[in-house]
Amino acid sequence: MTKQLMIYENAVPVSADAHRDVAVRQGVNFGFAADLNSVPLVVAEFEKAAAEYPIVFAGEGADLTPAAVVGLRADENLCVNANGTWDGDYVPAFLRRYPFVFANGAEEGTFTLCIDSAFEGVNENGKGERLFDSEGNRTQYLNTMLQFASDYQSQNAVTRAFTDRLRELDLLEPATATATLPDGTRLSLGGFQRISTERLANLDDAAVLDLFRTGFLAVIHAHIASMAQLPRLLSRAERRAAERKGA
């Protein structure tokens, strides 16, 4: 559905030697996400995200990923305004984590914190939060982002367990979202899956109890409820079309 990982253009390991004078101005301009029509989610976000965005499942097999739909066209994010600000109450953690990301470390099971040096908020002009102090020690900001990235990595594992369980129970079905703008333009978004309420209802009691005890049943219900947000996405598309017409 989207070019999700392409927001990272040049991820390099964070180090005191290379980044002692570097600061990061984060959370101001989301232009880096302007061409994403969906954003990956972890299960811990479903409740908040479901109140604003449709949640779907993109990819196949082990690469299955839940995502918040933020656009009805390829390469268009209806939540990023022309000035780069985010038009929405909830910003997915995938974007709040940027420009940081974990990469596999030299030893198996270890990870290295990296930063996308191509992000326009990375600078040596003191704008934003410094990564290291004058003595080369990590700042509170860097420690906070390190913890955030670590928590996100842990949630990725939980999310993978969730999607694996959906596949094991064969709960997913292909889906397509369609919408028509006031000017007659017809929009269609495909290439994703959703949970089948019919298959869910036909699960045996043991499977339902297991989903409940693992907390996955609540996540499923959040996904199902989120599909009611499609009209909100259409309203965003209508506003975007009106802005283009008036420009």
Q: Cα–Cα distance between 218 and 5 in angstroms, integer? A: 28
Mean pLDDT, residues 163-190: 87
| Predicted pLDDT of residue 109 | 66
Q: Cα–Cα distance between 44 and 93 in angstroms, integer? A: 10
| Predicted pLDDT of residue 50 | 97
* The one-letter amino acid at 104: N
Mean pLDDT, residues 49-72: 94
| Predicted pLDDT of residue 106 | 62
* The one-letter amino acid at 14: V
Contacts of 196 (CB under 8 A, 6+ apart): 171, 172, 173
- Higher pLDDT: 75 or 140? It is 140
- Higher pLDDT: 101 or 106? It is 101
| Predicted pLDDT of residue 105 | 64
Burial readout 179-196 (b: 16 or more C-beta within 10 A, e: otherwise) = beeeeeeebebeebbbbb
| Predicted pLDDT of residue 246 | 65
- Please say if the pLDDT value at position 244 is more than 80: no
Query: pLDDT band at residue 2, thresholds of 50, 70 and 90?
Result: very low
| Predicted pLDDT of residue 193 | 95
Q: Cα–Cα distance between 1 and 39 in angstroms, integer? A: 9
Q: What stretches of the chain adopt beta strand conformation (E)?
A: 11-13, 23-24, 38-40, 55-58, 65-69, 100-104, 111-116, 122-123, 129-130, 172-180, 186-195
The region of weakest confidence among 55-69, 80-94, 138-152, 167-181 is 167-181
Pairing of strands 129-130, 122-123: unpaired
| Predicted pLDDT of residue 212 | 98
The model's pTM:
0.90
* Mean pLDDT, the chain, integer: 91
Query: pLDDT band at residue 238, thresholds of 50, 70 and 90?
Result: confident
HSE value, Cβ hemisphere, 13 Å, CA-based, for 189: 28
* Burial class for 237, CB neighbours closer than 10 Å (0-12, 13-18, 19+): buried
Mean pLDDT, residues 99-121: 85
What is the per-residue pLDDT across 3-26, written as a single tens digit (0 to 9) for each? 445 799 999 999 999 999 999 999
What is the per-residue pLDDT across 140-154, written as a single tens digit (0 to 9) for each? 999 999 999 999 999
Q: Cα–Cα distance between 125 and 135 in angstroms, integer? A: 18
| Predicted pLDDT of residue 119 | 95
Identify the CA nearest to 143 among candidates 193, 81, 100, 91. 100
Mean pLDDT, residues 208-234: 95
- Please say if the pLDDT value at position 39 is more than 90: yes
Q: Cα–Cα distance between 142 and 24 in angstroms, integer? A: 10
